[in-house]
Amino acid sequence: MSEKGHAQSNIRLGMVIDLDKCTGCGACSTACQAENNISYRPDESQKLRSITWMNIYQLDNKKAYPDFKIAFLPRPCMHCDADHHSPCTFVCPVNATTRDENNGLVTHIYPRCIGCRYCMVACPYHARSFNWWDPTWPKQMESMLSPEVSPRMRGVVEKCTFCHHRYNKARAKASVDGTDPNKAIYTPACADACPTKAITFGNLLDEKSEVAKLSKDPRAFRILEKLKTKPKVYYLSKQDWIRNLADNSLT
Partner 1 sequence: MDRILIPDGVKRCSFPIFSLWILVLLGVIGWGVAAGAAVLIKAMNLTGLNDWFGFGAYITADLAIIALGAGAFFSGFLYYGLSKFFPALKELGKIINLAVVVGFVCYTGALAVLLLEIGQPLRGWFGYWHANVHSMLTEVIFCITCYAIVLVIEYVPLILENRKVSESKPLSLLGHSMHDVMAIFALTGTFLSFFHQGSLGGVAGVCFARPYAFREGLFIWPWTFFLFILSAISSGPAFTALICKAMETVTRKKLVDRTVYELIGKIEGGLLSFYIILKIADTANWAFNMSPRFGLKLTDYYWGPYGIWLLVAEVGICGVLPALILISPKGRKSSFLLFGAFLLDIIGVSLNRFVMTIPAIAQPVMPFDQWKIYIPSIYEVAPVLAMLAYCMLIISLSYRYMPLFPRETELNR
Residues forming the site for partner 1 (CB under 8 A) = 46, 48-50, 57, 59, 73, 80, 82, 85, 87, 90-96, 112-118, 120-126, 128-134, 153-157, 223-224, 226-229, 245-250
Residue partners of 51: CB distance under 8 A and separation at least 6? 38, 39, 40, 129, 131, 158
- Closest to partner 1 by CB, 36 vs 131, is 131
Determine the Cα–Cα distance for residues 230 and 70; give it in Å rounded to an integer: 26
Residue 155 or 181 with smaller CB distance to partner 1: 155
Smallest gap from Cβ 86 to partner 1, in A, equals 9
Three-class DSSP category at 16: strand
Smallest gap from residue 52 Cβ to partner 1 (A): 9
Smallest separation (angstroms) from partner 1 to the CB of 151? 15
Radius of gyration of the chain (CA): 18
Nearest distance in Å: CB 209, partner 1: 27
Residue 114 or 172 with smaller CB distance to partner 1: 114
Q: Quick check: 60 and 68 in contact, CB under 8 A?
A: yes
| Residue 88: φ, ψ to 5° | -85, -25
**C-alpha torsion sign, points 203, 207, 212, 216:** positive
Q: Cβ(155)–Cβ(131) under 8 Å?
A: yes
Q: Smallest Cα–Cα separation from 157: which of 108, 92, 89, 100?
A: 108
- 26 or 155, CB closer to partner 1? 155
Name the residue nearer to partner 1 (CB basis): 11 or 113: 113
